[in-house]
Amino acid sequence: MSNTPEAPEKGKDFIRTLIDKDIETGKYNGRVHTRFPPEPNGYLHIGHAKSICLNFGLARDYAGKCNLRFDDTNPVKEDTEYVDSIREDVQWLGFEWDNNFYASDYFEKLYLIAELFIKMGKAYVDHQTAEEIRENRGTLKQPGVNSPYRDRSAEENLSLFRSMRAGEMQDGECILRGKIDMAAANVMLRDPALYRIKHATHHRTGDAWCIYPMYDFTHGLSDAIEGITHSICTLEFENNRPLYNWCVETLMEGLRQPELFGENEAVYSELATLPGFNQRPYQYEFARLNISGTVLSKRKLIQLVQEGHVSGWDDPRMPTISGFRRRGYTPESIRDFCEKIGVAKAAGTTVEYALLEHCVRQDLNERAPRYLGVMDPVKLVIENYPEGQVDEFSMPLHPEDETYGERIVPFSRELWIERADFMEEPPKKFFRMGPGREVRLRFAYYVTCTGYDTDENGTIVEIRATYDPETKGGWSKDGRKVKGTMHWVSAPHALKAEVRNYSNLFTCENPNAPEEGKTFVDYVDPHSLEVRDECWVEPALGEMAPGTNFQFERTGYFCADSKDHKPGEKPVFNRTATLRDSWAKIQKNSK
Ligand code: ATP
Ligand code: MG
C-alpha cells in the first residue's frame, strides 16, 4: 500500500474495537482483509469517501489488505465509464487497493454455487409472476405463502436452472429462489431471489450471460471467495445480514458434501480450500454519511446530470468526489473530514456542509500559494506616478512559509482595484478607500484618493489617487499608520480571467425531504453558479497548471479549472471556498 497516507492518531471506533478483539482471539490468525464494493452505476460521492477511508484505513492501520471490488451484477445500469471514474477517485483520495476484482469475475463460480444450493435442496426455480411473488411474500405481521413450485425435485430445478442459463427463457419468466422460510420474521429470509433472467449485454462479460445473480447472493459469496474478514457496509443492510450469513453458511455446508459435486468437483474442491470458507467473513454495519444541503445518492445525482441541472458528474457543485476535486478540494481535506466525522454504529445526524469547507480551508491555508486578483474591477489612476514607469515588487507566495518563494508583481500608473473597496461617502467603520482617504496598496505604496469619475448612471468608472514614494513596500518610514490594505493589479500587465463562483446547489437544508408535491430537483438553485468573465489577475497566473490550488488574497481559495483552464489562454478559475469560516463561527457560537 505504497501510496497510502500516514495513519492519523485517533480514538478507537467500534469497528476497530471489534477487530482488536478478533486479533486477540486469533479468529482470522491476525488477518484483516476488507473491501470497498461500489456498484459501477454512477460516480462516487462524498458518502463513499467515508467508506473508502474506513475500509482502506483499516487495512493500513492493521497491516492488512483492502480490495476494490466492483459489484457489477446489474448490466443495465453499469458502465466502464463508471468503473474508470471509481478507480481514479479511489487513487486520488490516496489509496491503493491490494486487488481489483469484479463480482463478474465470479459469475461462473457463483453459477456453480447456485447449482450446489439446488442439489442441496436449498434453492428452487419459481415460475410465479413478480406480482404473485410479491403478494405471497406476506407482510411484517403476516407470514408468507409457499410457492406452488417450492417442492420441485432437485433434478427438475437443476434442469430448469440450466435452461435459464442457456437462454431458453424470457426475462421475468422465472427466478431462482433460496428455499429458506416463508414464515420468517425477517422478510428478507422469505425465499429470497438468488438469480434472475436478464437478456442484457454486460460491460465486461458481454452476452455470455442472460442470468445474473442478485446482490445478497453475490455479496457474501464474493467476500468469502476473496477471503474478506470484515465486510463493512451501511446500516440499511442490517436486515440483509441474516441472508448474508445464510448464503455463506449454506455454501460452507455444501462444500462438506463432496457427493454432490459431480462433474464440477475441481471447482468445489478448490473453493473448499479458500481461507474464506474456513474463516468466514462477517458483515458489520455503520451509519451512512448525510450532509446538509445536498443529496448523497447515485440515483439522484444521475438525475441531476441527465436532466442537465449541472454540467456533469464533475460539476464543482456536485457532492461527488470528482466534483470536489474539480472545485479544488484536496484529498487531504476530504480524508481529514472523514477522520473528524468518525464512524458510528447508530444512524447519525446530518453533518454540516460547513465542516467540509472548514477542512479544505484549513488545508489550503497551510498549502495554497497567494496571488492577487480583482474580481469586480474599477480603474485606479495614480496621478503622480510617472507614465511608463514600472516597479517590480517581489512578493512572498506564502506568508508563513518561505520555502514557497516569491513572485514578481509589476506596479504601474494604472491599476485595477475592487469596486467594493471604494465608497463615495464611506461610513466611519469602512477602512478602505474614499475621497481624501489614505490606504495601503498591499506590498506597494500608500495612496490617497483625490477624486473619481462616474458615468451618466452614477456608476464609478475611474478613481484617482496620488502615491507617496516614501512608502515603497507598503510601509511608511515616519510611522504613519493607515487602517485599510487593499489588493490591486497593474492594468497594463494584468490578465483577464474567468472566475466561477459556486454556492449551494440547493436552496434548502434538506432536499431529501421535499415538501408535498415537490421533488429534490425543485430545489436546485439556478443561480448557484456565478460566472465573472472580466476579472483581472496578476500575470504570474497565466502559466498555472490546470488543477493548481491557490488563494486570491482577501477573496478566497481557488483552483485553475482542470478542463477549461489552459496555460497561455484566458485563465479559468473555480472558487473552492471563501475565506470566511462559517464552521469556526458555528463552533464559537455554540460555546
Ligand atoms: P447510493 O445509494 O448512492 O447508490 P450505494 O450504497 O448504492 O449508494 P454502492 O456503490 O453500493 O452505493 O456503495 C459502495 C459502498 O459505499 C457500500 O459499502 C456503501 O455502503 C458505501 N456507501 C454508500 N453511500 C454511503 C454513505 N452515504 N456513507 C457511507 N458509506 C456509503
Ligand atoms: Mg447500491
Of 27, 87, 137, 288, catalytic: 288
Ligand 1 near 75 CB (within 6 A): no
- Beta pairing, strands 373-374 & 529-537: antiparallel
pLDDT band at residue 588 under the 50/70/90 scheme: confident
- DSSP secondary structure letter of residue 544: P
Q: Are 131 and 236 part of one and the same domain? A: yes
Least distant ligand from the CA of 39: 1
Backbone angles phi, psi at 536, to 5 degrees: -115, 130
The answer to whether 33 and 226 have CB atoms below 8 angstroms apart is: yes
Task: Give 464's strand partners.
Answer: 381, 451
Written as nine digits, the cell of 510 is 434538506
Q: Where is the domain boundary, 417, 452, 487?
A: 487
Across the range 31-45, mean pLDDT stands at 98
Residue 288 annotated as catalytic = yes
Binding-site residue numbers are: 39-41, 45-51, 71, 215, 234, 288-289, 296-298
**Alpha-carbon distance 24 to 551, whole Å?**
49
- Ligand 1 pocket mutation, candidates 46, 51, 300, criterion most atoms within 8 A of CB: 51
Across the range 468-486, mean pLDDT stands at 94
Binding-site residue numbers for L-glutamine are: 71, 215
Residue with cell 425477517: 186
Q: Tell me: the pLDDT tens digits for 139-175?
A: 999 999 999 999 999 999 999 999 999 999 999 999 9
Q: Tell me: the pLDDT tens digits for 188-212?
A: 999 999 999 999 999 999 999 999 9
Q: Are 256 and 402 part of one and the same domain? A: no
Residue 39 annotated as catalytic = yes
**What pLDDT sits at residue 582?**
74
- Nearest residue (by CA) to ligand 1, atom 25, is 47
Average confidence score pLDDT of the chain: 95
Q: Where is the domain boundary, 487, 521, 540?
A: 487
Q: What is the CATH number of the domain that holds 444?
A: 2.40.240.10
Ligand 1 near 289 CB (within 6 A): yes
Written as nine digits, the cell of 547 is 488543477
Query: 536 lies in a domain?
Result: no
- Ligand 1 pocket mutation, candidates 58, 234, 294, criterion most atoms within 8 A of CB: 234
CB atoms within 10 A of CB 468: 16
Query: 568 lies in a domain?
Result: no
Query: 474 lies in a domain?
Result: yes
- Nearest residue (by CA) to ligand 1, atom 16, is 48
Report in angstroms the alpha-carbon separations of 30 from 20, 55, 63, 187, 229.
Answer: 9, 17, 10, 35, 10
Backbone angles phi, psi at 449, to 5 degrees: -75, 130
Query: 460 lies in a domain?
Result: yes
The answer to whether 108 and 11 have CB atoms below 8 angstroms apart is: no
Task: Give 569's strand partners.
Answer: none
Residue 176 C-beta-side C-alpha neighbours within 13 Å: 36
Closest among 333, 390, 453 to 92, alpha carbons compared: 333
Least distant ligand from the CA of 70: 1
Query: 76 lies in a domain?
Result: yes
Ligand 1 near 298 CB (within 6 A): yes
**What pLDDT sits at residue 2?**
40
**Alpha-carbon distance 442 to 417, whole Å?**
11
Ligand 1 near 40 CB (within 6 A): no
Q: Are 280 and 382 part of one and the same domain? A: no
Query: 457 lies in a domain?
Result: yes
The answer to whether 246 and 217 have CB atoms below 8 angstroms apart is: no
Q: Are 69 and 191 part of one and the same domain? A: yes
36 CA to centre of ligand 1 in angstroms: 10
Q: Are 95 and 209 part of one and the same domain? A: yes
Q: Are 380 and 262 part of one and the same domain? A: no
- Decide if pLDDT at 236 tops 60: yes
Closest among 347, 79, 342, 331 to 235, alpha carbons compared: 347
Query: 542 lies in a domain?
Result: no
Report in angstroms the alpha-carbon separations of 342 from 11, 354, 477, 510.
Answer: 9, 16, 53, 22
**Alpha-carbon distance 111 to 334, whole Å?**
40
Q: Are 138 and 251 part of one and the same domain? A: yes
CB atoms within 10 A of CB 9: 6
Give the 3-state secondary structure of residue 590: coil
Per-residue H/E/C for 156-189: HHHHHHHHHHCCCCCCCCCEEEECCCCCCCCHHH
Q: Where is the domain boundary, 487, 514, 533?
A: 487
Of the candidate ranges 221-235, 344-358, 452-466, 563-577, the one whose mean pLDDT is the lowest: 344-358
Written as nine digits, the cell of 579 is 475565506
- Nearest residue (by CA) to ligand 1, atom 26, is 47
Least distant ligand from the CA of 47: 1
Q: Are 249 and 395 part of one and the same domain? A: no
> pTM for the complete prediction?
0.94
Q: How many domains does the chain have?
A: 2
pLDDT band at residue 580 under the 50/70/90 scheme: confident
Q: Tell me: the pLDDT tens digits for 282-322?
A: 999 999 999 999 999 999 999 999 999 999 999 999 999 99
Domain residue limits at 235:
14-286
- DSSP secondary structure letter of residue 79: -
Atom of ligand 1 nearest to the CA of 52: 16
Ligand 1 near 68 CB (within 6 A): no
Of 16, 27, 39, 498, catalytic: 39
Backbone angles phi, psi at 283, to 5 degrees: -95, 140
Handedness of CA 408, 413, 419, 422 (dihedral sign): positive
Ligand 1 near 77 CB (within 6 A): no
Query: 266 lies in a domain?
Result: yes
Q: What is the CATH number of the domain that holds 40?
A: 3.40.50.620
